[in-house]
Amino acid sequence: MSQSSLRSPMTAVSSRMRAYFAAVDRSAESATIFDPAKHGMFNLEAPPSPWVDLGWIGNFARFCGTTIEVAGAGSPVAPVRQCRSSLTGRVEFDFFEWGKLQMALAGGAQHMNVLDADPNSEAQPSGGTPRAALALLPGSTASELVLGTGAVNSFAVDDLLAVDTDYQQQTGYIGTGLSAAYVRDPQDVLRDVNYVRRVTFNVGRVAGKTASSVLLAQPLLGGAPAPSAAAQKVVAFIDREGGSFFQEWSALFVHQEQSGGRICFYYPRLSPSAPHANDQTGYEREHRVAISSPLGAIALHASFLALPYTDRNDNETVLCYRAYFPAPGAAIY
């Protein structure tokens, strides 16, 4: 067998991209870290905790608006130095899958759970006065909610539930584990005891029941419920055009490594923004992806502005990271 001296292939081929998001601690402005040394080649079906898999995405595009100033000197003036005078980075894509988190990220403002309403309540576009919440009992976890014998019969298999604490007139970010909204004045939310559960990301679907508890199909995003948490049935999700709250999440996008090398884009802090193609007439919130006329999938269009992050390794302010994991045996340059 003869040995060739050809350089090994370095072409990156990918047909699909997958998105993962994780919470930013809004009070501390602390991002979730994606460490490529620890997690780089993770199984795309099982992302490292606490990253949440939001499925395959399409029409992914990154935009760089960073400006570079050139300082000149001499006669004639010649460039002698450059500096980055402003940092701007944006990213846009379409979610092909719909869910609570996908809607919240594409919508951008506080995302609401429509709580199962009392039939006699006044109609409201985001849901009227809900039926009373059921308090959780000790021993509840992110996957099993202990309600007690009898009370557990209030929920059926396949029900959607919102699980969080009662609103207790606090101001600031609310939501257990994940910041779901910001309350400036309790009167803004009518001191509604259910308001936290109206916006919480801690939602789940009942997959099974025991004599005293319900078992969730997916664990609550915010982890184990607080001791004073309660559960209410959810019938739908709502986002709205408008609102004062801005979501902020850490994001990771991965090109599936069909030719062997993996490319990842990590954004420590992303906040919803207007799309790049914004103009006088606005833009499409949803994109229609043709399947075969007249069938089409409805994709949620999402657009984000990258917020700054200070890399502790060298104290540089950056917006995003592009990581490349060469295929085994691939040439490096």
Partner 1 sequence: MQFAKDSFYLALRTRLAALNPARGVNVNGVNRTAVLVAENEPAGSFRPLPNAFYINWGSARAVEGFNQGSRPLLSLDCAISYYSTGTCESAVDWGRVLGALDTELLCISHPAFTRKLDFTQSPSADLGTNVFWSPPVVSDLQKAGGDGLFQHMAQLVVYFFPEADLP
Q: Phi/psi class of residue 171: alpha, beta or left (left: φ > 0; alpha: ψ in -120 to 50)?
A: beta
Q: How far apart are CA 127 and CA 279, in angstroms?
A: 33
Pick between residue 1 and residue 73 the one whose CB is nearest to partner 1: 1
The separation between CA 139 and the C-alpha centre of its own chain, rounded to angstroms, equals: 28
Q: Contact with partner 1 (CB under 8 A): which of 168, 259, 310, 317?
A: 259
**Residue 126: DSSP 8-state:** T
Among 185, 328, 332, 333, binds partner 1 (CB under 8 A): 328
Distance from C-alpha of 196 to C-alpha of 145, rounded to nearest angstrom? 18
Sole residue written with tokens 């990581």? 323
Contact 231, 134 (CB under 8 A): yes
Assess 13 for contact with partner 1 (CB under 8 A). yes
Both tokens of 263, joined, read: 């490319």
Q: How far apart are CA 91 and CA 322, in angstroms?
A: 13
**Of the candidates 240, 111, 239, the residue with the CA atom closest to the CA atom of residue 174:** 111
Residue from 48, 50, 219, 260 binding partner 1 (CB under 8 A): 260
12 binds partner 1 (CB under 8 A): no
Instruction: Please state the closest distance from residue 197 (CB atom) to partner 1, in A.
Output: 38
Cis peptide before 328 (omega within 30 of 0): no
What is the C-alpha separation between 160 and 144, in angstroms, rounded? 14
- Does residue 2 touch partner 1 according to CB under 8 A? yes
Determine if 329 is a binding residue for partner 1 (CB under 8 A): yes
Q: Is 223 left (phi over 0), alpha (psi -120 to 50) or beta?
A: left
Q: How far is the CB of 330 from partner 1 (least distance, A)?
A: 7
Q: Which stretch binds partner 1 (CB under 8 A): 4-12, 65-73, 184-192, 262-270?
A: 4-12
Contact stretch for partner 1 (CB under 8 A) within 8-16, 75-83, 149-157, 272-280? 8-16
Contacts (CB under 8 A) with partner 1, residues 199-258: 256-258
For partner 1, give the closer residue by CB, 9 or 58: 9
Task: Give the binding range for partner 1 (CB under 8 A) out of 21-29, 133-141, 200-208, 324-332.
Answer: 324-332
Query: Which member of 87, 117, 135, 330 binds partner 1 (CB under 8 A)?
Result: 330
Q: Report the nearest approach of partner 1 to the CB of residue 38 (Å).
A: 23
Interacting residues toward partner 1 by CB under 8 A: 1-9, 11, 13, 15, 256-260, 327-330
